[in-house]
Amino acid sequence: MMTSLVGHSDTNGSEDTGHLTVTFAYNFWENLNSRGPSLRFGTSHIYNNYYDNMVDCINIRKSAKALVENNVFAGSSAKGLYSVDGTGSAQASGNDFGSASDSIDSTTLSMEYTYSLKDAGDVASYVQSNAGATL
């Protein structure tokens, strides 16, 4: 289990803006209250992650932006992709939200690197088999 907070303070925008870029791929987020991840002031790419029994999943706030692709939300409550303060935005596609919501403002965002997406139908099985220490 893991949680992640990117951007250490709601009041630290002058230091963090333009300096926080994080990719979250192939993570298994399970039985957590929130922060899968929570992002302030930065840019994030969140793809092919599996969320199971979460309360609040992806929180994009404080003018942060995210590209959110092909994630799966199983057994998660109302907040799949959202902005707690209404200032975050995301470009979301290919996600299986199940009963979770996608209530964030839309933006256009692309990444400057090459990556391959798993189909959302394959994410749960792949992530549960491969996430974590595999050495």
Both tokens assigned to 19? 């300096």
Write the CB contacts of 112 (distance below 8 Å, at least 6 apart in sequence): none
Four-CA torsion 95, 115, 134, 60, nearest 10 degrees: -50
Sequence-distant (6+) residues with CB within 8 A of 15 are none
Q: Is 101 helix (H, G, I), strand (E, B) or coil?
A: strand
Annotated catalytic residue within 7, 24, 35, 45: 35
40 catalytic? Reply is: no
Give first-to-last CA distance, the chain, whole Å: 18
List active site positions.
35
